[in-house]
């Protein structure tokens, strides 16, 4: 038998008895329990003896009584499908406010994981790390409620409760932006963070319904405060991203440099090709500091062909390297091998002709892997490090997404993506084209 508040209230008002007797296997709904408590009624389940008015609606840290445990089972000892256990021996309907709260907290954790997948596609490594911390925070909230333990915490995303409140109330002071209404113009990352914030607020509302009684008393203020500050954390993260976007309206974009075939020479090979005391002659500065195109050129010779007037780039390096496109390799009769600069293991060689001598290069002919030069400040702002690999989308007449783009970081670099002539021509890239990072 399921005892509802409506049925109980209607019968009680006829007699106003302080003791109500119920048949074996009776289950009292949460709202009916509230009514029993408010009227100070005692309940007797036939065969179980007297059950006081607080059974089935325990306060924080109270333990179920043996009578309560017996009350939660029906006559055959089988749990009805429309009911569930809050805890051992505490059977309630599945629309119980605490059950609904737990379901919303579960859903919230699922949405955190979905957001991490989204942020991974966008290259937002730092946000993914923040959401790892937030997911652990949410799990501990769940554990504390189920085990009826106090929820203690000190910081979230590096901020204590007071700092979270302060920063969320004063975004202009901390992030350089005003409180602004939601807008698609803020971008998908900001929108996703605000979605998580709104979901967190919904969980907080469910917590209030679950733990606040009709008199306004709340038995889990610790959980509600934690959820409130968690929604502030999402707002802070959204403000950080929006502030960063306002400083760089184009987002994570990089200019594109197109590399034609060229050669880097070692000091020994420079002497062999141009003479003992020869030094490279500066012709034009390149985009990266201290790098330049020299006036000197050489001829590259392969099994099937040659390229004359191939530019030398300075300064000299530890070992000689020839950088060609795939098309160049085919014309010379050389197997194209894609390598990051400086990695010559397993690469082919060729013959280099200079004005006073020749060099037989045994290895060092590469198709340079696509890469991005980043200053250390840019890498820090974008949560990237030397050696990372990213995806880059280039908008052009033939929009193209480049996979496996190497990040190279130095305090000497200027921000620029390098592609060879084949890759650039295939996408119809010109001097105004930009690459946009999509994810790590």
Q: Kindly report the pTM of this predicted structure.
A: 0.47
In terms of pLDDT, which residue wins out, 19 or 355? 355
pLDDT of residue 37: 73
Give per-residue pLDDT as tens, 127-176.
999 999 999 999 999 999 999 999 999 999 999 999 999 999 998 888 88
Peptide bond into 219 cis (omega under 30): no
Per residue in 257-281, pLDDT tens?
999 999 999 999 999 999 999 999 9
Q: In 3D, which of 227, 212, 220, 215 has the Cα closest to residue 61?
A: 220
Q: How far apart are the first and last CA of the chain?
A: 58
Give domain 98-247's CATH architecture.
Answer: Up-down Bundle (1.20)
CATH number for the domain whose boundaries are 370-439: 2.40.40
Per-residue pLDDT, 89: 67
Burial class (CB in 10 A: 0-12, 13-18, 19+), 396: middle
Q: Are strands 292-301 and 306-317 parallel, antiparallel or unpaired?
A: antiparallel
CA distance 156 to 134: 7
Buried b (16+ CB within 10 A) or exposed e, 260-288: ebbbbbbeebbbbbbeeeeebeeeeeeeb
Enter the DSSP assignment of 218: B
pLDDT band at 48 (very low <50, low <70, confident <90, very high): low
Per-residue pLDDT at 297: 96
The alpha carbon of 302 is separated from its chain's Cα centroid by a whole number of angstroms, namely: 48
SS3 state at 436: strand
CA angle 227, 229, 235 (to 5 degrees): 110
Phi, psi torsion values for 381, nearest 5 degrees: -65, -30
Proportion of the chain above pLDDT 90, given as a percent: 58
User: Tens of pLDDT along 306-324?
Assistant: 999 999 999 999 999 999 9
Phi-psi region of 148 (alpha: psi -120 to 50; beta: other; left: phi over 0): left
pLDDT band at 243 (very low <50, low <70, confident <90, very high): confident
Highest-pLDDT range among 81-90, 227-236, 390-399: 227-236
Phi then psi dihedrals of residue 198, to 5 deg: -65, -40
178-236 residue pLDDT tens:
888 888 888 889 999 999 999 999 999 999 999 998 888 899 999 999 999 999 999 99
């Amino acid at each position: 038998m399921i005892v509802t508040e409506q049925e109980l209230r209607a019968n009680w008002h006829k007699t106003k008895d302080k003791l109500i007797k119920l048949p074996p296997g009776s289950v009292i709904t949460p709202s009916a329990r509230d009514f029993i408590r408010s009227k100070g009624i005692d309940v007797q389940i036939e065969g179980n003896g007297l059950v006081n008015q607080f059974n089935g609606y325990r306060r924080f840290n109270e333990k179920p009584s043996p009578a309560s445990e017996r009350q939660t089972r029906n006559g055959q000892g089988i749990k009805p499908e429309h009911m569930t256990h809050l805890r051992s021996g505490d059977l309630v309907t599945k629309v119980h406010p605490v059950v609904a709260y737990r379901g919303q907290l579960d859903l919230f954790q699922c949405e955190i994981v979905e957001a991490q997948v989204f942020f991974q596609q966008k290259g937002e490594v730092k946000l993914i790390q923040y959401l790892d911390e937030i997911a652990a925070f949410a799990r501990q909230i769940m554990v504390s409620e189920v085990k009826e333990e106090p929820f203690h915490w000190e910081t979230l995303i590096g901020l204590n409760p007071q700092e979270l409140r302060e920063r969320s109330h004063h975004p202009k002071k901390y992030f350089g932006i005003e409180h602004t209404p939601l807008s698609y113009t803020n971008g998908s990352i900001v929108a996703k963070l605000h979605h998580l914030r709104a979901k967190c607020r919904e969980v907080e509302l469910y917590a209030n319904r679950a733990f606040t009684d009709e008199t306004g008393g709340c038995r889990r203020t610790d959980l509600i405060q934690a959820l409130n500050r968690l929604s502030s954390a999402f707002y802070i993260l959204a403000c950080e991203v929006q502030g960063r976007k306002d400083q760089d309206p184009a987002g994570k974009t990089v200019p594109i440099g197109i590399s034609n075939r060229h050669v880097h020479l070692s000091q020994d090979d420079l002497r062999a090709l141009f003479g003992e005391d020869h030094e490279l002659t500066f012709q034009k500065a390149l985009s990266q500091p201290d790098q330049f195109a020299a006036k000197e050129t050489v001829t590259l010779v392969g099994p099937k062909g040659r390229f004359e007037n191939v530019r030398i780039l300075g300064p000299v390096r530890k070992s000689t390297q020839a950088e060609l496109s795939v098309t160049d390799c085919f014309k010379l009769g050389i197997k194209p091998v894609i390598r990051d600069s400086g990695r010559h293991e397993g690469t082919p060689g060729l013959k280099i002709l200079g004005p006073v001598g020749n060099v037989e290069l045994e290895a060092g002919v590469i198709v340079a892997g696509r890469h991005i030069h980043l200053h250390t400040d840019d890498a820090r702002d974008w949560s990237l490090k030397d050696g990372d690999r990213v995806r880059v989308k280039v908008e052009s007449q033939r929009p193209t997404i480049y996979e496996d783009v190497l990040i190279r970081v130095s305090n000497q670099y200027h921000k620029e993506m390098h592609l060879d002539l084949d890759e650039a021509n295939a996408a119809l890239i010109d001097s105004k084209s930009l690459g946009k990072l999509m994810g790590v």
